[in-house]
Copies of this chain bind each other. A is one copy, B any other.
Amino acid sequence: MNHTTHPAMNAKTGTVTLVSAGPGDLDLLTLKAAKALARAQIVLLDDLVNPDIATLAPQARIIRVGKRGGCRSTPQAFIERLMVRYARKGHDVVRVKGGDALLFGRAGEELAALHRAGVPFEIINGVSSAFAAAAGLGVSLTHRDHCQGVIFVTAHLRDHSEPDWQALAATRMTLAIYMGMSRIEGLCATLAQTLSATTPAAVVQWAGSAQERRVMGTLGTIAELAQAAGLGSPAIILVGDAIGEAISQAGSLSAFDAHATTLPALRRA
C-alpha cells in the first residue's frame, strides 16, 4: 500500500519501504519484499534479521542498525533520521524488520517520523515468528474445538512492568508470548493460577530458521524443559489447548522414529 504524504513532493525525494523479513528463512519473504530488496539503493537492517538477506539486495548499500548493547532511545531516533536523510537525497530506502514489521517492531514510531518529514512510505507484510513456531510444531494457532482466537503479547514492556497474565489467561485463548524467555518461570507460574498446570505449552527458539529448536510440555513443565534443553532468546512461548494437538498427535505416532527425528522436542515432552 502506498502512502504518499505530500502532493508536490520534490521530484528527487525517494521513498521508504518498510519490509517485513519474516522469521529467518529467506524463502519465507514475500515476493513483494524480494522485489523491493532487488531495487533498493539503501537497506537498513535490524540485528535479528538473517544477514543473508543482503544477497537479495545486490545494488544496495547495507547499513546495520541493530540496537543490542543496552543503548536504547538514541539509536531509534538515529534510525529514523537515517531513513529520512537518505530518502531526501532521492534514494529508495528499504527498512527491514524481522517477522512482520507491524507487530512489536516500533514501526509506529518510524512511520510517525516519516509522516512528520513528509517522506512517502510503503509497508510490506511478512510472517511473524509465532506463525512459524506453530508451523514447526505442526499445529494450528487456533482450533475450533478449543479457542476463539490467539493473543500475541510481549513480555518485555517499556516500563519494565508485566502484562496482566491472569486477565490474558482468563480469555482461554492461545497465548503467543514474544520476548518472554528471561521470565518464563514466573509467567508460567502466574498463568497456572488461572489455567490448569496441564495446559499444553511449547517453546520454539529461532522459529522459521535453520537453527529452529523446539520443546513441548505443559504450563507446569515447560520452563524447566526449555532450560534443560538450553533454549533461550529469541523464542516464542505458546500456551493453550490448541497447541496440545501436536502433543496428542505425536503421542499417537510415538512409535515412528521418523517423526521423532523431525520433531525431536517431542521426545523430551
A→B interface (CB under 8 Å): 1-7, 22-23, 25-32, 34-35, 100-109, 111-112, 115, 121, 123-128, 131-132, 134-136, 138-145, 148-154, 157-158, 163-164, 167-168, 170-171, 173, 208, 212, 242, 245, 249, 252-253, 256-259, 261-263
Contact = CB atoms under 8 A, between A and B. Distances in A.
A149 B163 contact: yes
A138 B121 contact: yes
B257 A7 contact: yes
A30 B22 contact: yes
B126 A249 contact: no
A141 to B, nearest CB: 5
Contacts of A100: 127, 131
Contacts of A106: 140, 144
A137 B57 CA distance: 27
Contacts of A257: 7
Contacts of A1: 135-136, 138, 212, 262
Contacts of A30: 22, 27-31, 127
A262 B103 CA distance: 23
Nearest to A122: B135
A31 B22 CA distance: 11
A252 B109 CA distance: 15
A258 to B, nearest CB: 4
A92 B29 CA distance: 23
Contacts of A258: 4-7
B138 A111 contact: yes
B125 A132 contact: yes
Contacts of A4: 258-259, 261-262
Given A3-B262, A30-B22, A148 B138 contact: no
Contacts of A26: 31
Given A2-B262, A28-B31, A153-B173, 8 more contacts: A4-B262, A23-B125, A108-B142, A111-B140, A124-B135, A142-B154, A145-B158, A149-B163
Contact of A32 (B25, B109, B125): B25
Contacts of A104: 142, 149
A178 to B, nearest CB: 8
A24 to B, nearest CB: 12
Given A4-B262, A31-B29, A107-B140, A153 B148 contact: yes
